[in-house]
Chains A and B, each alone.
Chain A
Amino acid sequence: DTGVSQNPRHKITKRGQNVTFRCDPISEHNRLYWYRQTLGQGPEFLTYFQNEAQLEKSRLLSDRFSAERPKGSFSTLEIQRTEQGDSAMYLCASSLETAVDYGYTFGSGTRLTVV
C-alpha cells in the first residue's frame, strides 16, 4: 500500500464551475477525513467518514460542498458553483478507528485555484 492518494494534484477552474476531487485511503483504514488548508493557515476540518457513513460535518462545509464514500473505500469531494474563496489545498487523510490516537496518514492534497 502506497499511502493516501489524491487526484488531481492541481486543479484550476473558472468561477462558477463544478469540481470533484478523489481520495483513495490506505485500504485497511475505515476512517476518512477531508480538510481544507488556505495559505498561511493550518488545515481545517471539513468532514469525516467511518466506512460509508458520513458522521460529522464542519460549518465550513456549505451546501455547495458534498462528500461521498459510497462503498467505504475511496471518497469524492465535490464543490458546486466554485467561488474564489474556495481556492485552497484540500487534504484527505485516513486512519483506523481503533488507532486514531496514533494520528492520521495524510495525502499530498489537491490544490484548487478558482480564477
Chain B
Amino acid sequence: AQKVTQAQTEISVVEKEDVTLDCVYETRDTTYYLFWYKQPPSGELVFLIRRNSFDEQNEISGRYSWNFQKSTSSFNFTITASQVVDSAVYFCALTPSTGNQFYFGTGTSLTVIP
C-alpha cells in the first residue's frame, strides 16, 4: 500500500523567514518517485521538485531545497526567504515506477504574511 502523510495542516510565517514542510511516506516498492506540488488559489497543481528512490542526495534549487531520507521515509521541503507569492497549498506525492497513479498527502496550507 502507498500512503503519504503531511502532518502540518496550516503554517504561517512572516515574509523572509525560512519554512520547512514535512512529508512522510509509506511504500513497499523499491523504485518510486517523490514530488512536491504547489496549488495556488487558481487551482492548478504546479510541479516543484522530484526525487527518485535511488538518489538520496539533497539539493538546492533557487529558494527551494529538499531533504530526502529513506531511513525515516521522509521527504521534507524547505523554502528559504519566503515571499508572499509562496502562499499556497503544498502537496507531497508518491508514485511507483510505473507512474500509473500519484498518491497525494492531504496538503499543507502555507500563508506568508507580509
Give A residues with C-beta under 8 Å from B: 31, 33, 35, 40-45, 48, 55-56, 58, 89, 91, 93, 95, 97, 100-109, 111
Binds A, one of B12-20, B42-50, B58-66, B69-77: B42-50
Q: Does B57 sit within 8 A of A, measured CB to CB?
A: no
Name the residue of chain B whose CB is nearest to the CB of A3: B44
Contact between B47 and A108, CB atoms less than 8 A apart = no
Q: What are 15 A-to-B residue pairs whose CB atoms are below 8 Å?
A: A40-B106, A41-B106, A42-B105, A42-B107, A43-B91, A43-B102, A44-B104, A89-B43, A101-B33, A101-B52, A101-B97, A106-B37, A108-B44, A109-B43, A109-B44
Contacts A55-B100, A101-B50 given: A108-B95 contact, CB under 8 Å? no
Tell me which of A33, A43, A103, A109 contacts B50 (CB under 8 A): A103
Contact of A42 with B106 in the complex, beta carbons under 8 Å: yes
Contact indicator A91/B50 (Cβ below 8 Å): no
- The verdict on B30 contacting chain A, using a C-beta distance below 8 Å, is no
With a CB–CB cut-off of 8 A, which chain B residues contact A45?
Answer: 101-103
Taking a contact as CB atoms under 8 Å apart, the answer to whether B35 and A103 are in contact is: yes
